[in-house]
Amino acid sequence: MSKAKLAIALITLSVATVAWAVPTSGIAHRVLQPHQSQSVSSVTPVRLREGRDGFVASAWINGAGPFTFAVDTGAGVSLISRNVVEKARLQVNKSRRTLVGGLCTSPIASNQEAKLSGLSLGTPSNRITTKAVAAVVVELPGSIDGILDPTDVFSPLGYSVDLPNRELRVFDPTSQGLRLNQVPRGGAVVRWVREAGNDRPFVRLSDSRLALIDTGSGFGLALTDGRVVGGRSHAADLENRHDLGGGRVQSQEIEPQRVSIGALVLNGVPSDVLSGVAPGTPNILGRRALFPFKITFDPIARLISFEPTERD
């Protein structure tokens, strides 16, 4: 077997959040496989905190912690720092998967991974039974110790991220799954598009383009394909975004866009055009576009629900 290599890029945004994405080209393709899982009733809702590193949760591994893990639906793979590995006494192995990606063309790299055994979220007693494997990196930006991809961590269970109420919930899609004809008032239920065989949550917009639903991104709509509908760029707003690998991504603000996802129409979405990104980097719908919603992900029916919610 050839030596596996993992390349991940992270960039810090001007809005003081962390965004990262793995392009579809070169990523190891995973298919959700049914496996023995814990009872959903044993997983209590996880309280999220919003800060400079996006939406984060407290986490414990093998009783060590608390650590601060970002919850990133667009990640495609989970990451943990070397500090977590050492404090949690995790066994580290050489990566068996070849993953290449990131927003920037100069990503950081790792060829090590560790199983997320003994993981608890929210409280030390809220144990998460998972077979997820995380890539090990030397360090992560800001105050975060890890990045969790909930699709991978909770598989084969479904989950919801309630952004206004800062809450993460897990559900059993075999009994509580989504249906296309059960649309929440003022929201939408759309197909979860699998692009190039990977499991990241893409949706198809009304103009036929795909967009990644990315709670780890502080953007509204971030366009990487160069197509701008009804918007003019503002040269004065050109900004450089630096990643941990020393690379640079440029972001140019354009006029707010209208975004349609199924029956849902979002007007005035803050929008940027990205340049200098890695080949295959997708268009992104981030928190500035998604914040009014509770977003539910059903990996079995392969549906995604957008439900408007207000803060309790």
Which tokens in the block code for residue 53?
Answer: 């590193």
**Same domain for 163 and 182?**
no
Among the candidates 146, 171, 196, a domain finishes at: 171
Assess if residue 56 is contained within a domain. yes
Among the candidates 171, 199, 229, a domain finishes at: 171
What's the predicted TM-score (pTM) here? 0.84
Predicted pLDDT of residue 109: 65
Assess if residue 99 is contained within a domain. yes
Q: Considering only CA atoms, which of 223, 221, 231, 241 is closest in space to residue 289? A: 221
139-167 pLDDT, tens per residue? 887 789 999 999 999 999 999 999 999 99
Q: What is the 3-state secondary structure (H, E, C) of the chain?
A: CCCCCEEECCEECCCCCEECCCCCCCCCCCCCCCCCCCCHHHCCCEECEEECCEEEEEEEECCEEEEEEEECCCCCCEEEEHHHHHHHCCCCEECCCCEECCCECCCEEECEEEECCCEEECCCCCEECCCCEEEEECCCCCCCCEEECHHHHHCCCEEEEECCCCEEEEECHHHHCCCCCCCCCCCEEEECECCCCCCCCEEECCCCCEEEECCCCCCCEEECCCCCCCCCECHHHCEEEEECCCCEEEEEEEEEEEEEECCEEEEEEEEEEEECECCCCCEEECHHHHCCEEEEEECCCCEEEEEECCCC
271: CATH: 2.40.70.10
Predicted pLDDT of residue 170: 96
Assess if residue 34 is contained within a domain. no
Predicted pLDDT of residue 5: 41
Assess if residue 250 is contained within a domain. yes
With vertex at residue 76, the alpha carbon angle to CA 212 and CA 214, rounded to the nearest 5 degrees, is: 30
Say which residues have a Cβ less than 8 Å from residue 47's Cβ, sequence separation at least 6.
57, 122, 166, 167
**Same domain for 162 and 178?**
no
Residue 253 to residue 71: CA distance in whole angstroms: 26
Assess if residue 39 is contained within a domain. no
| C-beta pairs of 48-53 under 8 Å, 24+ apart in sequence | 48/161, 48/166, 48/167, 48/168, 49/166, 50/166, 51/143, 52/16, 52/17, 52/142, 52/143, 53/17, 53/18, 53/141, 53/142, 53/143, 53/144
87-132 pLDDT, tens per residue? 999 999 988 665 544 554 445 567 889 999 899 999 999 999 999 9
Residue 83 to residue 71: CA distance in whole angstroms: 18
Residues of the chain with pLDDT under 50: 1-37, 100-101, 104-106, 242-246
Q: Considering only CA atoms, which of 35, 36, 37, 75 is closest in space to residue 55? A: 75
* Residue in the structure block whose two tokens are 């068996």: 96
**Same domain for 15 and 162?**
yes
Residue 40 main-chain phi, psi, to 5 deg: -60, -35
Total count of domains within the chain: 2
Predicted pLDDT of residue 13: 40
Which tokens in the block code for residue 111?
Answer: 């060829």
89: CATH: 2.40.70
According to DSSP, the β-strands at 99-100 and 6-8 are parallel
Among the candidates 137, 171, 205, a domain finishes at: 171
**Same domain for 257 and 203?**
yes
Residue 51 to residue 186: CA distance in whole angstroms: 28
**Same domain for 203 and 157?**
no
Domain ranges, residue 142: 6-29+45-171
**Same domain for 20 and 128?**
yes
